[in-house]
Amino acid sequence: MPKYPEVQVRPGREEDLPALTELYNHYVRATPVTFDLEPLSLEQRRPWLLSHPEDGPHRLLVALESPETLGSAETPDTAAPAGHLLGYATSSPFRPKAAYATSVETSVYCAPGAAGRGVGTLLYTALFHALRNEDVHRAYAGIAQPNEASARLHARFGFRPVGVFREVGRKFGRYWDVAWYEKELTSGD
């Protein structure tokens, strides 16, 4: 995984669940980015975490503030830096039917204070690096509109717009469009 002076990216783990749930619930409560309407408990979010193993096409990567920046030590039981969660990226099943198995839906969530620090770019770089030898043919991303920052991030990684589902979700008393983007993945990407 890429490692930079301020940020470390690694696979998500059980001990990340509280911070991951808190970050996701921020987006549930404050934005139309996710169409969940109510915050999730740790128990509700655990199956999502467990559906993203450290290998295979369905991954969960987390970006953490490194201990050097925070002044903390490595955790003795994992020998991995403990730090403040800056964001996460996932590749998840696109649809449940078997013929979709070589397609994934990707997403990135950054902590509110991490915007503009390159965390999303770092996470997607690591995610697509991890997927390069997996049997994945296409990646898709659905972006609630408007969201220029997410559209720019996806364009930077070679995603192309393929369509818009108009007024597909209702949240905060209004309807939201979702633009869909597609990226071809080939072995060695």
Confidence of residue 2 (pLDDT cuts 50, 70, 90): very low
**3-state SS string over 85-137?**
EEEEEEEEECCCCHHHCCEEEEEEEECHHHCCCCHHHHHHHHHHHHHCCCCCC
Listed residue (50, 83, 48, 63) closest to 1, CA to CA: 63
| Range 66-78 average pLDDT | 48
Q: Has residue 145 got a pLDDT over 90?
A: yes
Mapping DSSP to helix (H, G, I), strand (E, B) and coil, where does residue 71 land? coil
- Of the two residues 73 and 37, the one the predictor is more confident about is 37
What pLDDT, on the 0 to 100 scale, is given for residue 105?
98
Q: Which residues contact 18 (CB under 8 A, 6 or more apart)?
A: 42
* Token pair for 162: 């393929």
Listed residue (182, 168, 181) closest to 35, CA to CA: 168
pTM: 0.88
Q: Which tens digit of pLDDT belongs to each residue from 122-133? A: 999 999 999 999
Cis peptide preceding 5, ω within 30 of 0: no
| Range 115-128 average pLDDT | 94
Residue 1 in contact with residue 126, Cβ under 8 Å?
A: yes
Q: Has residue 134 got a pLDDT over 50?
A: yes
CA distance 23 to 187: 32
| Range 140-156 average pLDDT | 97
* Token pair for 83: 């730090």
What pLDDT, on the 0 to 100 scale, is given for residue 82?
57
User: What percent of the chain is predicted at pLDDT more than 90?
Assistant: 81
| Range 9-14 average pLDDT | 97
Confidence of residue 3 (pLDDT cuts 50, 70, 90): very low
When mean pLDDT is compared across 87-91, 114-118, 147-151, 185-189, the lowest value belongs to 185-189
